[in-house]
Structures are given as C-alpha cells and as structure tokens.
Amino acid sequence: MCGIAGLLNLGAGMAPEHGEIAAMVSALHHRGPDGQGVWLGGPVALGHARLAIIDLEGGAQPMGNEDGRIQVVFNGEIFNYVELRAQLVARGHRFRTASDTEVLVHLYEDHGERFVEHLNGQFAIALWDAGRERLVLARDRVGIRPLFHARVGQRLAFASEVKALFTLPQLRRELDPEGLASIFGYWAALPPRTAFAGVSSLPPGHLMAIDARGERLVRYWDWPFGDDAAGAHRSDVRWAEELHALLVDAVRLQLRADVPVGAYLSGGLDSSIITSIVHRYTATPLRTFSLTFEDPEFDERGPQRDLVAHLRTEHSSIEADRAAIAAAFPRMVRHAESPVVRTAPVPMMMLADSVRRAGYKVVLTGEGADEAFGGYDLFKEAAVRRFMARAPGSRWRGELLGRLYPYLTHSPAAGRAMTRSFFAAPPGKGDQPGFAHGLRLATTSRILGYFSPEWRQRMQRAEPEAALAASVPPDFGRWNALARDQYVEAHTLMSGYLLSSQGDRMAMAASIEARFPFLDHRVLEFACRIPARLRLCGLHEKVLLRRAFAAELPQSIGRRVKQPYRAPDSACFFVGGRLREATAELLQPRALEQAGLFDAQAVGRLIEKCASGRAIGFGDNMAFIGILSTMWLHRQLIEGQH
C-alpha cells in the first residue's frame, strides 16, 4: 500500500520541478511512511510514498525496466505477481527485485495498455513510456484504490488523494455543486465527479492514456451480469463447491506479504468466512481485530466471541464510544476528502489505529460479499416493493415490510399507512436503473433543504439520476431485477463510499493496507453467473455463500440474519442536550454564514431537534452528519485550516 503522485506537462511550458512533486508526495506521508521516491524525466514527474509490504529491501519506487524508458509508480498489491513473474522470466525478461512492482513494467513491455487485464489485485497505477511519450493511468476493477486527476494550466496532475493535488497553488480549492448533489443522494459522487470542482476521479475498471494522439479513456472491466442461462443445468452443490474453492484461493493469494497479516472480525457472515478460511486452509497465524459499541443496537460482541472461541484466534477489540467518535470526526473527514452522511467511517479509522498499534500493516476484511451475493436490506426492500406493486391493495404483501429491519429499534417499516405509501413502487418505475435506490435518494437528499438558497439552486441543476441512467451498460434493461440493483449498488455506494470513505481512506489514515478477498475479480465474475435465487431467495440473503461454508461456521454465525455495520450518529455530538464544544463552534450561525453553504436558521432548527432527542429517524441523522462533515471539509480542505 502506498501513495502516488505525478505531473505531466501537456504543452511547451517548463518541465515539472523536484520541489513540486516532493510536496505532493509529502502530503501522502500517511499512505507511505516507510520511504519516499521521486523520478523526473522530460515532461513528466513521478512520486511515491511507500508502505513496505512486499520485498521490503528492494521494492522502492519509482521503478523502471532495464533501460529505464518505462517508469512506474503504483499504489496497492498485485496478488498474482508470483505467477506473472514466472511467465515473464520464461519469455526472457530479467528481474532485479522480488517486488510485484517490477512485474508491471515487464508486463507492459509485452502487452502494452492491455497489461491491466492480466492483473489480479487492487491498484492505482501511473506508468510513463518515454519511447512513446505516453502516460498511462489505471485503476483496479472495482475501485479499491483511489486515483484523482486535474488540469492545472497546461499540466495534468494526478495523485492518490486530493490533498496532494492541492499542494499546487494554481489549483483553485472549490466545492463542486454537482458532486455534492450526487453525494447527498447516493452517498458518493458518481465518477468522474468528486466533491471538488476541477478534480476528477478515474472510474473503477478504467485506463486513461495520454500521448500524441490525445487522451483516451477505456473501460477494461465491468461486472458481467446478464447471462441468466449460464450454468442453468449445474446443481446447487456444484455451485457451492466452486464458490468455496474460489474464495479459498482468493484468501490464499491475498495473504501474500513479507509482513504479518491480520483480519477484521465483525461477527457477521462475511468476515467470519474469511477468518475461517485463514484458520482451516493456510498456515498463517490468525490475529483478529474487532469493534464494539456501548449501545446494544450497534454492538456485535456476542457473535464475535462465538467465532473467536470457535477458531481460538488471538483477538483484541476496541470500544467506540460516543465521545471518541465525536473527537475523531474531524480527522476522519480530512482523510475521507468527502462529505459523509453517517459516522460509521470513524470507528473503522479507530480500528485501523488499533491494528497499527498491534504492529500490523495488513488486514483482510469482508467488504464486497453483500454486493456480490445479494446481502443488503436494499435488495430485499426492492424485491418487496416490486412484489407489492403487482397487487398494491394486498394487505399481507405490505406486511412483508415489517420483516425487513429486525435489528432496528426504530424501524422505518412499521406497517403504518404512510410507511406503505413511502415504500410503494411508483407505476412503471421498477425497471429503471435507480429503482432500488430511490428511497435512499429521497431520504438522503433531504439534506439539500438545509443549504443556502444560492447553493440549493446550483445543486438542483445537477441530475444525478440522469447521470446514473447514462452510465449503465446497453443491455442493462434485459437483466433480472436483482442484477440491476446489484450493479447500481456496486457502482455507487460500494466503490464511492464503502471502499473509499469507509475503506481505503480510513485504513490509510493509520498506514494500514486493507485487502478484500470477496472482491477478487474471479469471485465477482462467478457471482454474476449464479442464479438469482442463490443470491436472494425471498427475504433470505446470500443463500449460496451460506451454503458453501455452513459446515465450517458455528450455527449462530451461519444462520444469523444480516445486520449492517452501523454506529451512533448525531447523538455523539451532544452532551446533556448541548453540542460538544468543537461542534458548537463549527455550527454556530456566524461560522455557517461565513462558509456560505448552509441556511443558518434551518440548521439551528435541526440542532434543536437533535438536542431534544427527537431526531431518531435516518433523515434527520443523515442531515446533521452531512452538514457537519461538509463544514469540516470546507474548513480543512477549502480554507486550508487544520
């Protein structure tokens, strides 16, 4: 895991200078505290901040091929580098190091821009081909590792994080109304948009090449849904056996490292499967880390204890209390580089801190299983709404809503007439790309009402729903309903929020590399082929995944209903009905008016509601956290205050 940065001169101006690229790299020190490297050649400069995981002595970057005409910096890991290296050696390539980085330059020599198709990994890559005067930027298939770019005069600047781009004084620091409109709908900006004007994100599964022919953006991979007849005659047992073998191999590959590897253990099915595989099928010592909460609604320490006892793992946990979440919130926003609508990233950052204190740099985690195997409440919700739409007058169909959220103290589906109306599917809408996400959009976008009239007008001109509809594949409408819902979830919440604000950014805040075996592209391609009934059957989620590992998990884990990871939200920022000091200072009317983003009176009314304990619904909590995180983002990254 690392941070990368670079500059490419697109015109006849001055070549990049050492001081410029060094400043960009320094802004990424938390991503790579083990070393820094810079390379300059003609119109390009490449920089790297290193977190040493593989080939601790010889893996420094930037790294070149034998004659130095190809140079690369990359952030991430290539898990199949051992196999690729053997193939390249057989074809006559010579290696100076044992690193996965050197595989990239030789693979590019053989395959050109298609080299990324051979990689099993999580990565953001910048490669300079001096012979062709070509810059290649590439990002892994599902967007685990970030890569941002911006035009700065006659230059292209790129980096793992926006704060590195902001070291360039020529780049104006401004929030982007279209990016914010997307965030306050889908929880994430839809690529290439970001929260910042003039700053773009390279979309997952894409490669960008810039040379004399101009700039080309190529999608090299996407979730391959669509062939519902594939494997129609395969037995359920065969499906389960193949999934089991694939996941075991994915974990085996992702344990490759020259440093110890730990694992997150939430108490849910997904992390339990990962830790069980490590225990049963590898020789890696099993070291696990968990989060607990003082509030029973969020706490999962009981299932965590069950699995720890079952696997006899060396285990530690930390409790994320409300005061600690509030105190760490500004630091979280600075690393997320985006507004957020939940506090959930903060405890993940605290957990990563505990991993680092324990002497670990790498952890395995279970993200991706819900998107791949149909685990989220959102998929059940959409199925029930479509079911209700076929008989809108049916009382018993509507009562299914009451079974959706058994873990919530205040369920949004309590069965009242207003609730039935809210969850009802609009006529003719069930086939639209954002159908399953319409309720999320409606609830989260309530935040827009708290913006100032000027900003509200600017954001209302954005059309995130239209942008989403334009981004789906041409055959999207022919897929089954669950596949459509999964595709949208993978391209919105997962890549833009879970793997970023709650994933890469929180781990890297503590200089920790998180790895995601469920997001091995072979596992995802397999998941896209399995029959929909083996993903979601009625209201039973992840059917095949449970079946494949049922014999290896305690029944209390294997049969447990999905409980999403959550943390307390607005309540963290109040003590005795009053805002905590730092929050009160940031949300006072004068501070709100100076920032110019929000209507101070509307925000004041929301604060009063939260202070009185009446903000128990998702909408009010998300509005409060969205406002607070946007204000911290503005203060830290726009105004440059720390």
Write the pLDDT tens digit of every residue in 456-499.
999 999 988 999 999 999 999 999 999 999 999 999 999 999 99
Name the 3-class secondary structure at 608.
Answer: helix
Over 90: is that where the pLDDT of 387 sits?
A: no
Rounded-to-integer distance, Cα 294 and Cα 81, Å: 43
Say which residue the tokens 């760490």 belong to: 328
Cis amide bond preceding 568, omega within 30? no
Over 90: is that where the pLDDT of 515 sits?
A: yes
DSSP letter for each residue of 42-79:
TTEEEEEEE---SSTTT--SSEE-TTSSEEEEEEEEET
Q: In what order do the strands lie in the sheet with 287-292?
A: 314-319, 287-292, 261-264, 362-364, 513-515
Instruction: Name the more confident of 166 and 15.
Output: 166
Residue 564: what pLDDT? 84
Alpha carbon of 298 to those of 85, 208, 527: distances in Å?
45, 42, 29
CB 207 within 8 A of CB 138: yes
Cis amide bond preceding 62, omega within 30? yes
Who contacts 589 (Cβ-Cβ below 8 Å, separation ≥6)? 600, 604
The pTM is what? 0.94
Position 251, amino acid: V
pLDDT tens for each residue of 167-218: 999 999 999 999 999 999 999 999 999 999 999 999 999 999 999 889 999 9
Residue 412: what pLDDT? 57
List, in sequence order, every residue forming a beta bridge with 261; answer none if it has no partner: 362
Over 90: is that where the pLDDT of 397 sits?
A: no
Residue 427: what pLDDT? 46
Mean pLDDT of all residues in 47-53: 94
Over 90: is that where the pLDDT of 381 sits?
A: no
List, in sequence order, every residue forming a beta bridge with 319; answer none if it has no partner: 292
Mean pLDDT of all residues in 31-49: 96
Containing 380, the helix (H) or strand (E) segment is helix 377-389
CB atoms within 10 A of CB 580: 16
Rounded-to-integer distance, Cα 597 and Cα 592, Å: 7
Rounded-to-integer distance, Cα 15 and Cα 583, Å: 44
CB under 8 A, 24+ apart: contacts of 582-589: 582/326, 582/330, 583/326, 583/628, 586/628, 586/631, 586/632, 586/635, 587/627, 587/628, 587/631
Q: Which two tokens stand for residue 425?
A: 């599917």
Q: Which two tokens stand for residue 629?
A: 């995180």
User: For residue 431, what pLDDT band results from cuts at 50, 70 and 90?
Assistant: confident
Who contacts 466 (Cβ-Cβ below 8 Å, separation ≥6)? none
Mean pLDDT of all residues in 346-351: 98
CB 577 within 8 A of CB 335: no
CB under 8 A, 24+ apart: contacts of 60-63: 60/35, 61/2, 61/37, 61/101, 62/37, 62/38, 63/97, 63/99, 63/101, 63/102, 63/105
pLDDT tens for each residue of 277-305: 999 999 999 999 999 999 888 999 999 99
Position 93, amino acid: H
Strands (DSSP E) contained in 101-147 are 121-129, 134-139
Residue 423: what pLDDT? 57
Residue 406: what pLDDT? 57
Rounded-to-integer distance, Cα 631 and Cα 339, Å: 9
User: For residue 58, what pLDDT band results from cuts at 50, 70 and 90?
Assistant: confident
Mean pLDDT of the chain: 92
Domains of the chain (ranges, CATH numbers): 2-219 (3.60.20.10), 570-638 (no CATH)
pLDDT tens for each residue of 548-584: 999 999 988 888 887 889 999 999 999 999 999 999 9
Over 70: is that where the pLDDT of 410 sits?
A: no
Residue 574: what pLDDT? 96
Rounded to the nearest angstrom, the gap between the alpha carbon of residue 435 and the centroid of all alpha carbons in its chain is 22
Specify the DSSP class assigned to residue 562. Answer: P
CB 177 within 8 A of CB 462: yes
Buried b (16+ CB within 10 A) or exposed e, 341-353: bbbbbbbbbbbbb
Over 60: is that where the pLDDT of 425 sits?
A: no
Q: Is the Cα dihedral 247, 250, 255, 261 positive or negative?
A: negative
Mean pLDDT of all residues in 514-518: 98
Which one, of 486, 30, 423, 551, lies nearest residue 226 by Cα? Answer: 486
Buried b (16+ CB within 10 A) or exposed e, 252-271: bbbbbbeeebbbbbbbbbbb
CB 71 within 8 A of CB 128: yes
Rounded-to-integer distance, Cα 346 and Cα 331, Å: 9
Q: Which of 351-360, 405-414, 470-479 has the lowest mean pLDDT?
A: 405-414
Residue 320: what pLDDT? 96
DSSP letter for each residue of 160-203:
SSHHHHTTSTTS---B-HHHHHHHHHHSSPPTT--SBTT-EEPP
Over 80: is that where the pLDDT of 266 sits?
A: yes
Residue 240: what pLDDT? 97
Over 50: is that where the pLDDT of 418 sits?
A: no
Q: What percent of the chain is modeled with pLDDT above 70?
A: 93
